[in-house]
Amino acid sequence: MIRFTPVIRKKQQLKDKTYNVKMAVSRNREVGYISTEYYVFEKEIENKGKEKGRINSLYRKSKDVDEINLTLSIMKGQLSDKVKTHADIIEHYSMTMLLAFLRDESDPADLYTIIDERVKKYEAQDNINYRDSFRNTKTLLQQKLGYKTIPVEVITYDWLTKLDYKLRELGHEPNTIGVRMRNIRTCYNEAAIRGLVKTPVNPFRQYKIPRASTEKIDLTLKEMQAIVTCRLDDPLMEWARSMYLLMFYLIGINIVDLAKIKKIKDGRINYSRSKGKKKYSIKVFPEAQAIIDRYPGKEYLVDALDRYYHYRGAAKVINTKLKDIAAICQIDKTISINTCRHSWATIGFEQGISMDLLSRGLGHIVLRESNVITKIYVHEYLGPVDEANKKIIAAANPDPDLDEGVIMSLNL
């Protein structure tokens, strides 16, 4: 429990023999002080019993002693209310942090300050996914959980475990909690690099960020062939399939990146991936070009942003229609636009393409040196990647003269 009591400190007597009235903040035998605007002589403040801290009638500097006592009483009430409102945070504060908080002093090491910096950084980089992720983390903590301020020093193992519990109580899935906690960890580590964290142990060494087991989201060759060849009567479903296949033909390009590409240059699509800002150069094969020609955009390469104001709207419709397509094809998996990259690699592996070449196509290769796996991103030697993609696209598009029953069969 935190107590507040008006006091004077006898070692701090001024030249006129008066003392500043301070609000003593007591917690677990530890005491800190907040200065007030009032000054008294030693005998003018009660220091014992129930009247301790009250200014008595000997007060000479003001005609209205009752008003001063009322002001000090109101101050105590306001400080008490502030403590109760932020009890979950304050229990982790040091006395120095507590006093700074009660004085309304700004804290450069506040988690929200660092989150805001991240948001501005990703905004400048046009990295919408990361920007929104950090922005949503702040909204969750500040508005839904009511944390008005979170100095990074309060981010302890105990605080993280309690936050984890609260998020689970609110119904958040482990994957969602994991995203929020990783964002907090990123900000905490940045504060540590800046020297804003004084705690000797990183709490994330003890706290394990939750990870949920995920459903297998890659498609086999036969499943992809079924999606390519199935008959669709709904124009919107046909558009959704086409966008999904185009993403697959372009080595799992994200919908946010596909929607904003404006042109093809020298037969290739060149772009920086929104997630991670890595550069890609992908050859456009006839199967992809046919879809682009079928659904041209007014400003962009395809019409996703002509149909929908935001790429998320396009993504939502595609994912919804993919569920219907999966049902038609008798595919017992949750197909979404996120399956493209995984499926491209899985089908490529089925076609005998090496893991190193598949990794290069996805934007990373794996080097093994001294038993340490290091991921580096490369954009060279595009020829072999082009050939690999050509082989994968050809495999996913079987000869139309084949018996339909053979194509549609999914006896895996």
pLDDT digits (tens, 9 = 90+) for 238-256: 999 999 999 999 999 999 9
Read off the tokens for 129: 């996914």
What is the structure's pLDDT at 59? 59
Mean pLDDT of 275-294: 89
Is the pLDDT assigned to residue 45 strictly greater than 50? yes
Does residue 177 lie in a domain region?
A: yes
Assess whether 237 and 200 both reside in one domain: no
What is the structure's pLDDT at 214? 54
What is the structure's pLDDT at 49? 72
Does residue 314 lie in a domain region?
A: yes
Mean pLDDT of 213-233: 85
Mean pLDDT of 288-298: 95
Is 12:19 a contact under the CB 8 Å cutoff? yes
Mean pLDDT of 102-131: 82
Assess whether 64 and 32 both reside in one domain: yes
Percent of the chain clearing pLDDT 90 (strictly above): 46
Assess whether 189 and 73 both reside in one domain: no
Domain of residue 26 covers 2-85
Neighbours of 125 (CB within 10 A): 13
Is the pLDDT assigned to residue 408 strictly greater than 70? no
Mean pLDDT of 176-180: 92
- Output the average pLDDT for the chain: 84
Is 204:185 a contact under the CB 8 Å cutoff? yes
Assess whether 199 and 249 both reside in one domain: no
pTM score of the predicted model: 0.55
Does residue 65 lie in a domain region?
A: yes
Query: Which of 152, 177, 205 finishes a domain?
Result: 205
- When pLDDT is cut at 50, 70 and 90, the band that residue 107 belongs to is low
Query: Which of 50, 85, 120 finishes a domain?
Result: 85
Rounded CA-CA distance 119/196 in Å is 19
Assess whether 250 and 334 both reside in one domain: yes
How is residue 151 annotated by DSSP? B
Assess whether 373 and 251 both reside in one domain: yes
Assess whether 285 and 237 both reside in one domain: yes
Does residue 334 lie in a domain region?
A: yes
Does residue 96 lie in a domain region?
A: no
Q: In what helix (H) or strand (E) does residue 5 lie, and over which residues does it extend?
A: strand 2-7
Does residue 120 lie in a domain region?
A: yes
- Determine the distance from the C-alpha atom of residue 146 to the mean position of all C-alpha atoms in its chain, rounded to a whole number: 18
Rounded CA-CA distance 3/390 in Å is 73
- When pLDDT is cut at 50, 70 and 90, the band that residue 83 belongs to is confident
Assess whether 155 and 265 both reside in one domain: no
- DSSP, collapsed to helix, strand or coil, labels residue 203 as helix
Mean pLDDT of 268-272: 90
Assess whether 192 and 248 both reside in one domain: no
Does residue 214 lie in a domain region?
A: no
What is the structure's pLDDT at 106? 52
- DSSP, collapsed to helix, strand or coil, labels residue 277 as coil
Domain count within the chain: 3
What is the structure's pLDDT at 403? 46
Assess whether 242 and 369 both reside in one domain: yes
- When pLDDT is cut at 50, 70 and 90, the band that residue 167 belongs to is very high
Mean pLDDT of 350-364: 84
Does residue 91 lie in a domain region?
A: no
What is the structure's pLDDT at 213? 57
Assess whether 200 and 226 both reside in one domain: no
Rounded CA-CA distance 373/366 in Å is 6
- DSSP, collapsed to helix, strand or coil, labels residue 185 as helix
Q: By mean pLDDT, which of 46-50, 81-85, 271-275, 293-297 is the weakest?
A: 46-50
Is the pLDDT assigned to residue 216 strictly greater than 80? no
Assess whether 55 and 130 both reside in one domain: no
- When pLDDT is cut at 50, 70 and 90, the band that residue 381 belongs to is low
